[in-house]
Structure 1
């Protein structure tokens, strides 16, 4: 008897969205005995995780690493047969391109917030260093229910710390504006420190001391041989092998309640389900919720996104001499166009092994509010990337091949009050039994955070559907309460 026949009497759950969150939800649901249909509007699965190729070498054209200090992504990779593909970076040493020089990224910081002024000479001005040294003399700064990271850090340590350290660090994760980003949602450990300490630098030093006293084993980040873009493909294969139905180029046009569950309209065809998980970006979730939960839809329509572009460049190794390390970050205040560069062939051993004669680099461009950069032609983005790389590293060779990948509205923004908005969304849909949401718009934009939100959505359905046997036959590790990436 086939897996599909085995599940014929099981609860049917429709997952709308085939990114890593939707696929993770489908995988977990199948482990618990549900019958699952995944609807993906595009022609592929994976969302922002996109495998590709340049100069005959496999590369990631989207996210290229995953936080390993959270267990969700690494655990999922192992569950779908990628245990042997997990690989730590060959080097985790990064630089900061600031004031015209590549400088080692200072140690002893939390998302760019230093615990001491030592080793910041050259990165900060003399006055900037003195400002940090005087921080303990300042009166306590109250943060209330939430505060912008940049606003709080600038008040305690000065704008220079924000502009030259915090901004490039946060920009690498959110492509956002540090003076808008919520400290509570984006850097929760700093938010807790701000609530419980009079001195920010003292709090950061305390965090570092605790980390040294009880060091975590293993790498901070992990990749996969062949690229992180192979993860959603492996999850999709696992879903299909277990009888899950993944439908590409299939748009959910409408979502309605029925007396005994839900109905998803696909074109003119109604698809009936006991439960639905929305694993799509906020605007699409808002569209689908507009009739069944206008309040949740209104909240989700207010979520803003940042767009960005990745430029991938392949060079003949004989033409390239790079500084050591995995790449560098760029403070926007210095006026350069790129916001970061990854020396991919130095960062990932597997990539260097693909073709020893090819060196792959990546640059990223675009931040919140900078949509005009993405309107340029591919050749222009390549040209400006090469110009910045030349100025930063001296690299003046002609690439063997280049690729430009645009991510329009790729990263949701977490402004002050984001946690409250997410709480209101969930409050609005709490009364709609059999409906859950997950993805990057809620509790974190990183791969582990998206997987955790998918796990939580499935757990919610367990409760909504009364813990039915079909949804609890094969428990999977419950993953809650981790710090956001």
Structure 2
């Protein structure tokens, strides 16, 4: 009789954001029996598509880096390839020094590699602009194992470059403070460049040349969205998981995680099947506080490291206007606001201009959104929703001349939503993974570990899935061949 193949094993993925779902998809398609447990009533985490005034919109992340392959490849794999779209425009401005000014081209996360467009933009004062070329004659600035981006750039190019260029761009990604954010973790290509070059400007130029040479399609868009919203991606991945045999539950909170002689036991509250669940392996795709709580008994050292992770809170204010009321809106996809200018909003995106699918869905409506809050500057988030809309409208009026009242407005709060990458973050992540690796069949993934962007989250998920698959394969080998009964 022909021997049957031993099942790969049962894996529970804790967390139904894009990281958890991507890990579950990789595991299920590889042959594991997978259950996804999401504590909230909604899948997707910070990817959230809904609508305003009848127009579909993203109420969380709205785009993904297309020059990294992981997220685009996943979207295609789950059937969204035909709905991938480049922005209609990415020409953004900076609201600084009293007016909207063009974002200068030729920079890496705000660090200039070309001084001509920087000079023409008017973003820096004459004194600030005159400070920048000193980079060419200054002695090398020590980098060491890690350094804060703001600290290093200020030493080379002056504080104005940090305050009016680097801060708003980094803030758009991390909602953090450039003078605390790790260069090695947040902008690794810049970290490599400054270790090779004495001049920061020359290092940026070199990094940009390497990036251009590495691009498989030189004219490919830097970012992409999905028709109907990036928030469709996790839902499509969840459907693909189910099609591969996975179970996906919402409203199922894991309250305890314990090792057993043969794997893991999870205690679950809520959902359709509360109680205990046995698993051969687990993937923790949850924010650091939840991961710390679940790992406290089995890995106190990992839990302590996770407990020290910091998160920023922010809010998105999405507004729909009559299109005819915004005929004089400035051109471009929106603008960023340097924190040094002391405004309430940190950025505004003109969604109906940036994304063709938003404009097509509401031809008589114009949708835009603002963001409020960053790490260490979250006092404005104490305002209620009505006041956040009012304060956003005030800033939009001063920056872009928007005086009309919206026909609809929605405030989406992301409390503790964005992990911070302070100096030493890479080393902390390494310590967490070292401790988790000592737990057979356990892995972690998510925005805390490998980057906050969607491609980085997918890559983190695939790494965790690979670790679990290796552990399951090793366990199967050690168990010996099946007895051929198929039982």
When the two structures are superposed, what TM-score results if normalisation uses the length of structure 1? 0.93
State the distance in 2 between where 1:388 and 1:72 align. 37
Q: Which structure 2 residues correspond to residues 452-467 of structure 1 after superposition, within 5 A?
A: 452-466=459-473
Q: Which residue number corresponds to residue 137 of structure 2? A: 137
SS of corresponding position for 1:252: strand
* Conservation of the 8 A alpha-carbon contact between 2:8 and 2:472: no
Q: Which residue number corresponds to residue 244 of structure 1? A: 246
SS of corresponding position for 1:73: helix
Q: Which structure 2 residues correspond to residues 376-395 of structure 1 after superposition, within 5 A?
A: 376-395=383-402
State the distance in 1 between where 2:152 and 2:316 align. 31
Q: Which residue number corresponds to residue 482 of structure 2? A: none
SS of corresponding position for 2:44: coil
Residue 331, structure 1, aligned to residue 329, structure 2: no
State the distance in 2 between where 1:339 and 1:8 align. 54
Residue 348, structure 1, aligned to residue 355, structure 2: yes
Offset of 1:429 from its aligned partner? 1.4
SS of corresponding position for 2:389: helix
* Conservation of the 8 A alpha-carbon contact between 2:105 and 2:118: no
SS of corresponding position for 2:166: helix
Offset of 1:270 from its aligned partner? 1.7
State the distance in 1 between where 2:386 and 2:244 align. 44
SS of corresponding position for 1:96: strand
* Conservation of the 8 A alpha-carbon contact between 1:8 and 1:35: no
Where structure 1 has 5 or more consecutive residues not aligned to the other structure, the ranges are 1-5, 471-485
Q: Which residue number corresponds to residue 414 of structure 1? A: 421
Offset of 1:127 from its aligned partner? 1.6
Offset of 1:155 from its aligned partner? 0.5
**Cα displacement string for residues 245-301 of structure 1 (whole angstroms, at most 9, x for unaligned residues):** 111111111111111111111147221101000000000000000000000000000
In the alignment, which of 315, 320, 327 is matched to residue 321 of structure 2? Answer: 315
SS of corresponding position for 1:308: strand
Where structure 2 has 5 or more consecutive residues not aligned to the other structure, the ranges are 478-487
In the alignment, which of 384, 408, 411 is matched to residue 401 of structure 1? Answer: 408
State the distance in 2 between where 1:356 and 1:116 align. 39
* Conservation of the 8 A alpha-carbon contact between 2:280 and 2:441: yes
State the distance in 1 between where 2:189 and 2:389 align. 37
Offset of 1:324 from its aligned partner? 1.5
In the alignment, which of 353, 359, 371 is matched to residue 364 of structure 1? Answer: 371
* Conservation of the 8 A alpha-carbon contact between 1:165 and 1:331: yes
Offset of 1:213 from its aligned partner? 5.6
Q: Which residue number corresponds to residue 185 of structure 2? A: 185
Q: Which residue number corresponds to residue 221 of structure 2? A: 219
Q: Which residue number corresponds to residue 265 of structure 2? A: 263
Q: Which structure 2 residues correspond to residues 26-45 of structure 1 after superposition, within 5 A?
A: 26-45=24-43
* Conservation of the 8 A alpha-carbon contact between 1:142 and 1:194: no
Task: Label 1:214 to 1:443 Cα distance change in 2 as closer, same or farther (>3 A).
Answer: closer
In the alignment, which of 63, 66, 69 is matched to residue 68 of structure 1? Answer: 66
Q: Which residue number corresponds to residue 196 of structure 1? A: 196
When the two structures are superposed, what TM-score results if normalisation uses the length of structure 2? 0.93
Q: Which residue number corresponds to residue 50 of structure 2? A: 52
Q: Which residue number corresponds to residue 128 of structure 1? A: 128
- Work out the number of aligned pairs and report it: 465
Which stretch shifts more, 401-410 or 214-223? Answer: 214-223
* Conservation of the 8 A alpha-carbon contact between 2:64 and 2:71: yes
Q: Which structure 2 residues correspond to residues 142-157 of structure 1 after superposition, within 5 A?
A: 142-157=142-157
State the distance in 1 between where 2:7 and 2:141 align. 58
State the distance in 1 between where 2:434 and 2:212 align. 40
* Conservation of the 8 A alpha-carbon contact between 1:318 and 1:357: yes
Which stretch shifts more, 8-17 or 232-241? Answer: 8-17
* Conservation of the 8 A alpha-carbon contact between 2:266 and 2:277: yes
State the distance in 1 between where 2:444 and 2:211 align. 34
Offset of 1:9 from its aligned partner? 4.0
Offset of 1:430 from its aligned partner? 1.4
State the distance in 1 between where 2:325 and 2:114 align. 40
SS of corresponding position for 2:118: coil
What's the C-alpha RMSD, in Å, of the aligned pairs? 1.6
Offset of 1:468 from its aligned partner? 7.0
Offset of 1:423 from its aligned partner? 0.4
Task: Label 1:437 to 1:211 Cα distance change in 2 as closer, same or farther (>3 A).
Answer: closer
* Conservation of the 8 A alpha-carbon contact between 1:365 and 1:373: yes
SS of corresponding position for 1:428: helix
SS of corresponding position for 1:120: helix
Q: Which residue number corresponds to residue 109 of structure 2? A: 111
Which stretch shifts more, 199-208 or 148-157? Answer: 199-208
* Conservation of the 8 A alpha-carbon contact between 1:147 and 1:416: yes
Offset of 1:463 from its aligned partner? 2.0
State the distance in 1 between where 2:81 and 2:205 align. 35
* Conservation of the 8 A alpha-carbon contact between 1:55 and 1:401: yes
Offset of 1:104 from its aligned partner? 1.1
SS of corresponding position for 1:466: helix
**Cα displacement string for residues 418-470 of structure 1 (whole angstroms, at most 9, x for unaligned residues):** 00000000111111110000000111001111110000001111222235789
Task: Label 1:129 to 1:405 Cα distance change in 2 as closer, same or farther (>3 A).
Answer: same
